[in-house]
């Protein structure tokens, strides 16, 4: 089941509806060390103040599952959340304030650019790419149609410490514009990911490729480009 359709439950759930402040507390509690929890609590507080994270989770509970997934990916990819500070991170199809749900086809806060926002608050230097509206975002972003050949050629070779690419292929925008060309585009994206990542860079997540924490060296040496359609997209 795609991650954005998970029912967000933790083992300690009582079945009672969670209050919105419970939601942020639970996300903060994902931190595996005291220092990660402190960093996470601070970052999530900023996301709440700037982007109304709590009330958006209350309105669309699957957003909590997505945030859980993003926090977990970062912790799996980096030894500690403090290691993210200063890292140049590319997020391909990062989400936007106009992105639509594959389930309803309507605009949704689930696919706002939460990974880039979180990375920014953790001290990283995220660069987000998307076709949707990113005009009000504080991180570096580019409006790019990922289905166009050469769309990522403007980015310098080996210019990123880490890369995240998630859930492009199942999105309604992508399917309607580029559905039949999905495999060609997937191969091209994976080629670009290998080109763009610095030696010993970290693959946080890429649909259809090896899991979080994979290093650039492993990605370059792999033959994983015969993607499987990838969970979650």
Ligand X SMILES: C[S@@+](CC[C@H](N)C(=O)[O-])C[C@H]1O[C@@H](n2cnc3c(N)ncnc32)[C@H](O)[C@@H]1O
Applying CB under 6 A, among 26, 141, 167, 190 the residue interacting with ligand X is 167
Pick out residues in 33-92 that bind ligand X (CB under 6 A).
Answer: 66
**Total residues belonging to the chain:** 233
User: What minimum distance in Å lies between the beta carbon of 197 and ligand X?
Assistant: 17
Nearer CB in complex with ligand X: 125/178:
178
Nearer CB in complex with ligand X: 87/206:
206
Nearer CB in complex with ligand X: 135/200:
135
Beta bridge partners of 91: 128, 164
Nearer CB in complex with ligand X: 66/219:
66
Contact between 99 and ligand X per CB under 6 A: yes
The answer to whether 47 and 118 have CB atoms below 8 angstroms apart is: yes
Q: Is 116 buried (19+), middle (13-18) or exposed (0-12) by CB count in 10 A?
A: buried
Q: How many residues bind ligand X (CB under 6 A)?
A: 22
Q: What is the 3-state secondary structure (H, E, C) of 27-79?
A: HHCCCCCHHHHHHHHHHHHHHHHHHCHHHHHHHCCHHHHHHHHHHHHHHHHCC
Nearer CB in complex with ligand X: 16/132:
132
Residue 80's alpha-carbon distances to 24, 55, 169, in angstroms, are 20, 28, 30
Pick out residues in 170-209 that bind ligand X (CB under 6 A).
Answer: 171, 173-174, 177-178
Binding site for ligand X (CB under 6 A): 66, 93-96, 99, 111, 130-132, 144-147, 166-168, 171, 173-174, 177-178
């Amino acid at each position: 089941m795609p991650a954005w359709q998970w029912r967000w439950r933790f083992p300690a759930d009582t079945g009672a509806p969670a209050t919105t402040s419970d939601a942020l507390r639970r996300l903060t509690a994902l931190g595996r060390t005291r220092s990660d929890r402190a960093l996470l609590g601070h970052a999530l507080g900023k996301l709440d103040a700037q982007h109304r994270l709590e009330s958006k989770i209350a309105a669309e509970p699957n957003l909590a599952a997505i945030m859980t997934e993003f926090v977990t990916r970062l912790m799996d990819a980096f030894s500690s959340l403090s290691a993210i500070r200063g890292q140049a991170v590319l997020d391909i199809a990062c989400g936007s304030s106009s992105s639509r749900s594959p389930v309803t086809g309507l605009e949704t806060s689930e696919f706002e650019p939460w990974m880039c926002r979180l990375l920014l608050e953790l001290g990283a230097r995220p660069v987000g790419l998307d076709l949707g509206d990113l005009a009000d975002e504080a991180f570096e972003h580019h409006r790019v149609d990922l289905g166009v050949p050469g769309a990522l050629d403007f980015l310098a070779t080996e210019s990123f410490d880490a890369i995240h690419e998630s859930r492009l292929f199942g999105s309604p925008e992508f399917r309607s514009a580029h559905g039949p060309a999905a495999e060609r585009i997937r191969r091209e994206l994976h080629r670009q990911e290998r080109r763009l990542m610095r030696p010993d860079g970290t693959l946080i997540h890429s649909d259809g490729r090896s899991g979080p924490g994979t290093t650039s060296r492993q990605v370059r040496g792999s033959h994983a480009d015969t993607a499987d359609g990838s969970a979650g997209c």
